[in-house]
Amino acid sequence: MAEPTDAARTVLLTVDDDPGVSRAVARDLRRRYGAAYRVVRAESGRSALEALRELKLRGDSVAVLLADYRMPVMNGIEFLERAMDVYPGARRVLLTAYADTGAAIDAINVVDLDHYLLKPWDPPEEKLYPVVDDLLAAWRAGDHRPVPFMKVVGHRWSARSSEVREFLARNQVPYRWYSVEEPEGRRLLAAAGQDGLRLPLVITPDGGVLVEPEAPELAARVGLATTPTADFYDLVVIGGGPAGLGSAVYGASEGLRTVLVERSATGGQAGQSSRIENYLGFPDGVSGAQLTDRARRQATRFGAEILTAREVTGLEVNGAARVVRFADGSAIGAHSVILATGVQYRRLTAEGCAGLTGCGVFYGSALTEAPSCQGHDVFIVGGANSAGQAAMYLSRFAKSVTLLVRGPDLSASMSHYLVQQITEAPNITVRARTEVEAAHGSDRLERLTLRRVDTGEAEQAEAQWMFVFIGAAPLTGWLDGTVRRDGRGFILAGPDLTVDGELPEDWDLDRPPYHLETSVPGVFVAGDARAESAKRVASAVGEGAMAVMLVHRYLEQS
């Protein structure tokens, strides 16, 4: 371990209100870093701040702050925010008892959080020390300067501003949000020479200004890879949800030169989930963002390329090559392709919803909006697991959460454990046999017209927030004329391609399609985009791995 840059011993400070946990963190830190750093522990935010002020008066340096999130009186985010005034250059870590995406997003916006860790962190050699090693290296290299961050200036009720914030959050890019209605937001606009008519405004750490940036431009400026490093690969994976990430991990780990192409952010619908509790190996649950981050890092560690903000518009067969075309006209080739494009939430056709999308009406969980629901009444449309997970998450912020479902109850489409949690939640109400007839508001959602599907009775309800989860449509329109799909657009594969035991007329091989192989040899499908798939995270990951196994079989026989 390299010595700290200051002559005086540099401090690593940890604060946790549980004495046992506090001692355990300090013990593990001293075991690894005690020879070069001084480890200071505190059992409350107040005492930790006092310790920091004393260190400041003595001229000591503080390299890393580790704070527990769920402390009474002053939680971890509040402590880190106040600690920034004393040691703005210290790297900041939030300790959580479970995957708390909301806390992490809050911390990114408030205290420029560098990392968050789950308790327990055993073994520290795998879960604690690599994180602290990286933070110490960054602290030394950065000459103790604060972590640079993006600034986003926008209107609170702007669909485009919401999209930019969601893009940055889902790609785990730290940023600070400023409303144009706030003094600091107006000062930033003036400094950038903008009048506020075109928003959002994004200011990069180097002072660059982006006005109403599109995803590819934003991705390039924040350091996300958008350009492939080669023209030809063994495997192209299209889609970065659980199935696509599973394919990328197994493809790259088994020696295939693999590139994953994602049009927005890795994780898909699962990446937007606030909490997944029935995924194998996570008894305390895991957030979609954390699961996605781990899978992405795992794929890149094995050598997979991940391209973000690249939209695929076409698939062509050129002899033994499969050519993937992008919206900008460029293309890459490969021996094989896995289609893991997933699905998107269907849009509400009720009057007024289209014009208020992003201005109170959201599709999916929109985690960046959750803290703004504090003390408000929230409506959720849908009765499947994604709606239930969102209801439980938003109930932590909202005054009340109302689930609107067309059926008689939740049991037909929601997992039993979620139904139980919703039943026990004091501020969640389920309104059965109810649908949204219209959404009202000038520049933001103000009220809803709700209608009983059995009686036709209608009523008005005040509303500022509505999150919609009403089934999914596959993102496969760009495959029209190339790959066979069913009447709803889901991709047919394997046995589903046969009709009365006969293979398609255009199938020119002397073997039947492999289980996940589409009507184009060498092109496979995995996850929610496949016809009759299970629509579960675990099955999508499994299909991604199975598809790679079949890719190997295809390549061996080609």
pLDDT in tens, 382-428: 999 989 999 998 998 899 999 999 999 999 889 999 999 999 999 99
Q: The pTM is what?
A: 0.72
Residue 69 has a pLDDT of 87
- Give kind and range of the element (H or E) at residue 189: helix 183-191
Domain count, the chain: 4
CATH number, residue 410: 3.50.50.60
Residue 491 has a pLDDT of 97
Is 113 found in the same domain as 31?
A: yes
* H-type alpha helices, 212-371: 215-221, 242-253, 268-271, 288-301
Is 466 found in the same domain as 359?
A: yes
pLDDT in tens, 505-541: 888 898 999 999 999 999 999 999 999 998 889 999 9
Q: What span, in angstroms and rounded, lies between the C-alpha atoms of 84 and 112?
A: 10
Instruction: Report the pLDDT averaged over residues 299-305.
Output: 96
Higher pLDDT, 284 or 333: 333
Residue 140 has a pLDDT of 84
- Say if strands 321-326 and 331-339 run parallel, antiparallel, or are unpaired: antiparallel
Is 97 found in the same domain as 35?
A: yes
Q: Answer yes or no: is 91 within a domain.
A: yes
Q: Answer yes or no: is 2 within a domain.
A: no
Q: What span, in angstroms and rounded, lies between the C-alpha atoms of 11 and 217?
A: 39
Q: Would you say 210 and 173 are in contact if contact means Cβ atoms under 8 Å apart?
A: no
pLDDT at 98 over 70: no
> For residue 67, what are the β-bridge partners?
15, 94
Least confident of 207-216, 286-295, 416-425, 433-442: 286-295
Residue 259 has a pLDDT of 98
> For residue 484, what are the β-bridge partners?
none
Collapsing DSSP to helix, strand or coil, 284 comes out as coil
Place of tokens 């929230």: 378
pLDDT in tens, 324-344: 999 999 999 999 999 999 998
Is 480 found in the same domain as 339?
A: yes
Residue 517 has a pLDDT of 97
Q: What span, in angstroms and rounded, lies between the C-alpha atoms of 468 and 347?
A: 8
Residue 503 has a pLDDT of 80
Of the candidates 221, 243, 272, which is a domain's last residue? Answer: 221
Q: Would you say 237 and 260 are in contact if contact means Cβ atoms under 8 Å apart?
A: yes
pLDDT at 165 over 60: yes
Tokens of 187: 């000062």
Q: Answer yes or no: is 5 within a domain.
A: no
Is 459 found in the same domain as 314?
A: no
Q: Which pLDDT band, with edges at 50, 70 and 90, does 360 fall under? A: very high
Of the candidates 94, 117, 141, which is a domain's last residue? Answer: 141
Is 313 found in the same domain as 171?
A: no
CATH number, residue 172: 3.40.30.10
Residue 70 has a pLDDT of 84
Q: Answer yes or no: is 1 within a domain.
A: no
Q: Which pLDDT band, with edges at 50, 70 and 90, does 122 fall under? A: confident
Q: What span, in angstroms and rounded, lies between the C-alpha atoms of 221 and 218?
A: 5
Q: Would you say 271 and 225 are in contact if contact means Cβ atoms under 8 Å apart?
A: no
In b/e form, how buried is each residue of 174-205, taking b as 16+ CB within 10 angstroms?
bbbbbbbeeeebeebbeebebebeebbbbbee
pLDDT at 146 over 50: no
Which structural domain, as residue segments, surrounds residue 548? 232-344+473-557
DSSP sequence for 12-64: EEEE-SSHHHHHHHHHHHHHHHTTTEEEEEESSHHHHHHHHHHHHHHT--EEE
Shortest CA distance to 419 belongs to which of 277, 296, 267? 277
At a CB cut-off of 8 Å and minimum separation 6, what does 517 contact?
493, 494, 523, 524, 550, 554
pLDDT at 449 over 80: yes
Instruction: Report the pLDDT averaged over residues 473-485.
Output: 94
> What average pLDDT is seen over the chain?
89
Is 535 found in the same domain as 466?
A: no
Q: Answer yes or no: is 33 within a domain.
A: yes
Q: Answer yes or no: is 508 within a domain.
A: yes
Instruction: Report the pLDDT averaged over residues 208-218.
Output: 92
Report which listed range, 282-286, 367-371, 514-518, is most confident: 514-518
Tokens of 451: 């209608």
CA distances from 477 to 370, 480, 485, 488, 497 (A): 32, 6, 10, 10, 18
Shortest CA distance to 457 belongs to which of 476, 434, 441, 479? 434
Of the candidates 200, 221, 242, which is a domain's last residue? Answer: 221
Residue 101 has a pLDDT of 56
Least confident of 165-174, 282-291, 344-353, 423-432: 282-291
Instruction: Report the pLDDT averaged over residues 284-305.
Output: 89
Q: Answer yes or no: is 374 within a domain.
A: yes
Is 244 found in the same domain as 200?
A: no
- Give kind and range of the element (H or E) at residue 424: helix 416-424
pLDDT at 556 over 90: yes
Q: Answer yes or no: is 96 within a domain.
A: yes
Least confident of 108-112, 184-188, 278-282, 463-467: 108-112
pLDDT in tens, 16-71: 999 998 999 999 999 999 999 999 999 999 999 989 887 775 667 899 999 998 88
Residue 110 has a pLDDT of 64
Is 362 found in the same domain as 339?
A: no
Is 81 found in the same domain as 156?
A: no
Is 21 found in the same domain as 84?
A: yes
Place of tokens 């000459």: 143
